[in-house]
Each structure stands twice: as structure tokens, then as C-alpha cells.
Amino acid sequence: MKILITGSNGLLGQKLVSLLTSESSVELVATSRGENRLRAANYDYESMDITNKEEVKSIIEKHKPKVVINTAAMTNVDECETKKEACWKLNVDAVEYLVDACNEIGAHLVHVSTDFIFDGTKGPLEEDEEPNPVNYYGESKLAAEKLIEEKCESWGIARTVLVYGIAADMSRSNIILWVKKSLENGKEINVVNDQWRTPTLAEDLAMGCYLMAKKKAKGIYHISGKDMLTPYEIAIKTADHFKLDKSLITETDGSKFQQEAKRPPKTGFVIDKAKNELDYDPRSFEGGLSILGEQLKKQQKQE
């Protein structure tokens, strides 16, 4: 099966390249803006700006994949609030170009969405929960979902939550790496205890996307980790795992932080549908930390 992925230079994109190049039944075309950041072999790479309609059309037409997995998006929530035009262009307009290109060649689209389409009044959430975004990032991702449902002939949406992991040449950090680095440097940190999520290991999300692609699964699936945790609990577990001083971690609440975009307090996902229909089986949060720890050791040896 030929699969084309967008955003292959990003965290999820890199994990998908690693996973799909190890699957002998998959012929992979990886696309991202600019040069390829990865060293993996056995796949084609194309520079593709998904906000360029003609580029999207010509590259998808050229390769004629059976499935397109769209991992590209503007995901910096505060930046989406201050750069609304750029956010809409990447998170909505570009999705329309992908939908049109997929329809043209009869490809199935797997699109990655987010828990931030919900208002955070309750959780964990099932797929049929009513969306109600509280920030512009969530609005843009919900608009993309609606567009896909209305216009795409063959589609599946993988919603996810608080993705963490490490990848090559990554400029963005995540909560686990931030906590680890801060504590290693003896820095005191304040972490909120009034938000709840089901953090997702990037490798697990990649597998969820692949399972959806393999089965050409249609409809919406919640693909996340299985443990419902607050950022404070995440920080404590991270400190315990890496044997760092957790007395440096102070519990606080969201009202103490000034951020451009409002965050939904409680989300997290019920993942029964993905488990039952796709055989999706994510690691525990502790299992995810172990994988991250091994990868960081390997990375340090290479440096």
C-alpha cells in the first residue's frame, strides 16, 4: 500500500516515517516543507508546502497514494491566537487542498485532530461528544473536521491529546522534557493541578494513524494514552522515573498563568472504539517514560 504523509519533519511525522519504513507492505512517500530532517532509508521524500494548492495537487497526483496521512498543522496554541490568518491557512485551507487532491485520485485521508475542539467542562470524552472550542486553535481544527466530513469522499479523523516524545532536530519541547531539564538544572517549577489530559506517546499515535490507514477506517477515532493525569501528576511521575528532586515542583492552578489562549481544563479521551475496532493498544504513561528514557540515552551516546 502506498501511503503519503504530510509534516514528516515534525514529531509525529518522524515517528510515522520510522514505523512505516519498517513495514514491508508499505511504500512510503514523506512530505514536509523544506529539506528532509531524517536519515531513514527506503522511502521517497518530496518538499511540499501544504498551503500551496498547486503543489499539493501535483505531488499527490504524481505519487497517487492509496492513503494520505495529514500530520501537518500549526499547533502552537498561543501563536494560533496571535497569528490567526497563518493558523487558518495551515489548519483549514491546506486541509481543503488535501481533500480536493484525495478526491481527485480516490485516496483515503487520515487527518490528525485534537482534544482542543472541546471546552473542557468534562472528560474523558467519547467520539460523539459535542465540540465547543475555547480558543482559535480549537476553532481551526474543528473547522477542518467539518470540512472533511462535508467534502471528503473517504476519510478518518484521529483526535489526540498532549503528544510527547523526542525526534531529530526538534526545536519544540514538551512537558516531560521541560520538567526533566528544569529539575536537572536545579530549577524550581510551578505546574498546574487543575487540568486533566490523557498524554499520548508519539509512537502510539503513529501506530494509531497507521492502523487507521491500513484498515482505511472511516469516521472519528480517539487515539491517545490511557492514563488520565494532571500536568502536576505528569511532572511528579517524570521526576520519579528519572530519579530527580521532586521537591522543586510546586503545585499551582491555571489562574496563575497568563497565556494568550484559554485552555480547556478537562479533556482526555475514552479510547474503547480505537481499541475494539483498530486493535489500538497504547502504553501506560510509565511505559512511555521508559521509551523516552531509552531514546534520550541513545541520543546522548550519538552526541
What CATH number is attached to the domain comprising 110? 3.40.50.720
Of the candidates 89, 199, 208, the one whose C-alpha atom is nearest the C-alpha of residue 157 is 208
DSSP-based three-state secondary structure for 114: strand
Kind of pairing between the strands at 249-252 and 44-47: unpaired
What residues contact 23, with CB distance under 8 A and at least 6 apart?
Answer: 210
Q: What is the pLDDT of residues 195-245, one digit of tens each?
A: 999 999 999 999 999 999 999 999 999 999 999 999 999 999 999 999 999
Q: What is the pLDDT of residues 10-30, one digit of tens each?
A: 999 999 999 999 999 999 999
In a domain, residue 141? The reply is yes
In this predicted structure, what is the pLDDT of residue 170? Answer: 64
pLDDT at 257 over 80: no
Q: How confident is the model at residue 153 (pLDDT cuts 50, 70, 90)?
A: very high
Q: How confident is the model at residue 303 (pLDDT cuts 50, 70, 90)?
A: low
In a domain, residue 232? The reply is no
Q: Which domain holds residue 110?
A: 2-173+197-227+267-285
Q: What's the number of domains the chain is made of? A: 1
In a domain, residue 185? The reply is no
Q: What is the pLDDT of residues 163-172, one digit of tens each?
A: 999 987 766 6
Q: What is the pLDDT of residues 68-125, one digit of tens each?
A: 999 999 999 999 999 999 999 999 999 999 999 999 999 999 999 999 999 999 999 9
Cα dihedral 228, 223, 269, 189, rounded to 10, equals 40
User: How many Cβ atoms are within 10 Å of 98's Cβ, its own excluded?
Assistant: 26
pLDDT at 302 over 90: no
Measured in residues, the chain has a length of 303
Instruction: Write down the mean pLDDT value for the chain.
Output: 95
- pTM for the whole thing? 0.97
Give the cell for residue 34: 523544506
In a domain, residue 101? The reply is yes
In a domain, residue 137? The reply is yes
Per-residue H/E/C for 195-212 = CEECCEEHHHHHHHHHHH
Q: What is the pLDDT of residues 188-198, one digit of tens each?
A: 999 999 999 99
Phi, psi of 210 (to 5 degrees): -65, -45
In a domain, residue 61? The reply is yes
Cα separation of 218 and 32, whole Å?
25
Q: Residue 258: exposed, middle, or buried by beta-carbon count in 10 A (0-12, 13-18, 19+)?
A: exposed
pLDDT at 262 over 80: yes
Cα separation of 224 and 202, whole Å?
9
In this predicted structure, what is the pLDDT of residue 139? Answer: 98
In this predicted structure, what is the pLDDT of residue 218? Answer: 98
In this predicted structure, what is the pLDDT of residue 167? Answer: 86
In a domain, residue 88? The reply is yes
In a domain, residue 180? The reply is no
